[in-house]
Amino acid sequence: MRFKGIRVLVTGATSGIGKACALQFAKEGADVGVNHLHDTDGWEALTQEAQSLPGTLINLPGDVSKRTDVEGIFNLFCLKGPLNVLVNCAGVSQVKPFLEVSDADWQWIINTDLTSVYMCCQEAIPNMTSEHAVIINLASELGISGRAKFAPYTAAKAGVIALTKSLALEFAPRIRVNAVAPGPTATPFLEREIATPGHQEDINDIPLQRYASAEEIAHSIVFLASSEALYYTGATLHPNGGCVMS
């Protein structure tokens, strides 16, 4: 119950890492704002899983790549109290050779994976008035290492890491801002990538010889939001099974 009375907003929270975060925060007593891209089935499944948990879930549908939706999401959540923790988990990706990437592809990924973080942070920060004020941004090990056929995604995730550092400097000590850069994680996101023709994902390239679970990545995010991480800001945690050692 580390988060009893704490209000948390998670974007992209009906699937994968975002869903695992929402459930872990609710398990520890938080009031969790669940943002999703109008995923009615995902929201209903999440509420079923959270029925016996002590925290509460708040339904916040909307497209975080659009400013008007972001404003609506935060206005709705903050009507009932301040925001303590923001977790930016929403994201998309694609596997495509760089010379085949269209302007529309580039804008879709940059807007969803990077611009959404910028807009959500802009809306969140004025509403973070308590001592327990934390932002955690989901990056990726590919934002550090790069990868062929992932140019827009790697650029966006590198931008998330840089943005995290800038915000940590600007808003310390009032708000702690950190990032988590996972390695390959067993989520629908990864399943779609693996199913892409021509894509290769060799588990033997991972020193720990397996994918992470979404719950394992959520543990890192929940840790950074907790009072156990009070001396972390501007940091990027790397739960990646040894894919990138830094």
Residues belonging to the active site: 153
CA distances (Å), origin 194, targets 101, 197, 198, 202, 203: 19, 8, 9, 10, 11
Give the 3-state secondary structure of residue 193: helix
Q: List all residues 6 or more positions away from 24 whose beta carbon is below 8 Å from its beta carbon.
A: 215, 218, 219, 222
Query: Which tokens belong to 21?
Result: 């975060």
Q: Name the β-bridge partners of 88.
A: 137
Beta-bridged to residue 60, according to DSSP, are 35
CA distance 80 to 59: 13
CA distances from 148 to 99, 192, 214 (A): 11, 17, 24
Give the pair of three-digit tokens for residue 223.
């840790």
